[in-house]
Chains A and B, each alone.
Chain A
């Protein structure tokens, strides 16, 4: 039996204010998690909307209960990861770096606003695969920022993950939007010379 108190101590730091909103968000995500019937042994792509902490809380607690052990977790952003990667060992945050490889649950936040670097995708895929060989899970939290999902930036990564299992969509957030949505424009597709579409 897992200790409720140990779960609280481990994941309590993720709780945000106002607490009622956080509870609603985390409960909503837990429901989505259960309803989607996910494979808990495979990495997961999560579409989120400003609810990363609630997502980590909910998934972390659920995975801990499934494993009958309070699982450690680490959260890192993709740009920070690649910045760390290119630093020499003396400048690198070794504890964070080691955590990325050895922690029980790793959550990597990516966003369409990130500076896109092709090498980053292969680094992320390599990290996920390396961790998978040690039966450690890595989840990618894609921050949609309230706008439509654009996975064009990370097509390779997303295809890799959705090939493992279906993505979890938790963008139907219960929270009111914290910033105003862009006004509707007439749909007008434009392309670059390279043929990449923009909304």
Chain B
């Protein structure tokens, strides 16, 4: 039975697995020589995949039956035979190519000078059929003149927002996923937004995908955070509630407007903030298109592509089709999304570029109850993530946030996983001001506090 490329394509379509079909089409395109009809079939299927669907097998058969004799298109292979079939055709094509090259050489042998003959014979031996070897793999375990220079990352990683966190976990290096975990209402989005802000201020291009809050709400919070981070005057601090209740006094409205424009100038188009109105995210292809669009926009506006993505939050992808295969439970969908984002961090849009990915995710209720006990006091561990097992595996760094119920404005931060650092023995304590959308000390409070000569009166009254 002769297997052809259309047979392989039909066999892949019969699996009804969009991701699998996509992968096989890419394999076919990269490994085999295609004629025009075969290219057209693949193009048709790609167009359907972009819409999140697969064309039916009978549609392909009927549309392209004119191009094939007999019932070639009726033959379908089992899925575990497809890779072997591709290899089989590759070998056949290599043989055919060698045959043609040998015939051509034979015809020209009287006309070519010796060195040219030698070169052509040498080229023939590169045919995969004759060389019989796979591509050379890189060997990383070799001596080096400057091993230290080879080991360090050439550039600066992304900030994690607070120097206390970076003391343990280091900065976020490209190609890594950082997961931000907290229970409901424990400042996950506040922290994620602050990361976007701080990294954009350092010149990184950040895409913030908000599936929960609107872009307008987040933009407002970013302005409040900008005020809290930069102002020396406590009277300029704006409580978010005043904006929601529309009770912001006229003089403070002016302050807000000034800081808003100051923020936009300083950010200089380095943050793209999209909410669910702006994007489609039902499938991996949708998300890839979103990333491609953002990358293109950054290149146009800043001259450089995307450096980091913040997804807020993972749980809201549980009802999507993701990779298109059948999912029997929510966790499987989210596991696939984590794998997708990890791959994007390692190889952004298949360009070889490495980026940072920050994923916001939820802590499960049992872990919250456990962490609320005096013995644990805000110390979440790696298993606290509720949404997906893949979070633990895919993340280079996991950062958990816990609002201390025994003290106002106090946030406890733990780092249960730090691939490039180490975990603290007890949670990091920091200030949090939800009303100003700010984590960390306020600039207005950054007066000196000498621990050796401090005055209790100053502490009580100050």
Contact = CB atoms under 8 A, between A and B. Distances in A.
A155 interface: no
Contacts of A41: none
Interface in A69-125: 69-70, 72, 95, 98-99, 101-103
B352 interface: no
Contacts of B459: 4, 7-8, 61
Contacts of B454: 4, 65
Contacts of B407: 6, 9-10, 70
Contact of A9 (B375, B408, B447): B408
A27 interface: yes
Interface residues of A, number: 31
A58 interface: yes
Nearest to B445: A5
Contacts of A102: 373-375, 377
A170 to B, nearest CB: 14
Interface in B390-446: 406-410, 426, 429-431, 441-442, 445
User: Is the contact region of chain A dominated by helix, strand, or loop, or is it mixed?
Assistant: helix
A27 B449 contact: no
Instruction: Find the residue from B377, B451, B460 having the highest chain A CB count within 10 A.
Output: B460
Interface in B362-406: 373-375, 377, 406
Most chain A CB atoms below 10 A, which of B373, B406, B456: B456
A23 interface: yes
In the A-B complex, the 9 residue pairs with the closest CB atoms: A4-B449, A102-B374, A10-B407, A98-B374, A9-B408, A102-B375, A9-B407, A99-B374, A23-B457
Interface of B: 373-375, 377, 406-410, 426, 429-431, 441-442, 445, 447, 449, 451, 454, 456-457, 459-462
Interface of A: 1-10, 12, 15, 19, 22-23, 26-27, 30, 57-58, 61, 65, 69-70, 72, 95, 98-99, 101-103
28 contacts: A3-B429, A4-B447, A4-B454, A4-B462, A5-B441, A6-B409, A6-B431, A7-B459, A8-B459, A8-B460, A9-B407, A9-B409, A9-B431, A10-B406, A19-B460, A23-B456, A23-B460, A23-B461, A26-B456, A57-B456, A58-B456, A69-B426, A70-B407, A72-B374, A95-B373, A95-B374, A98-B374, A101-B375
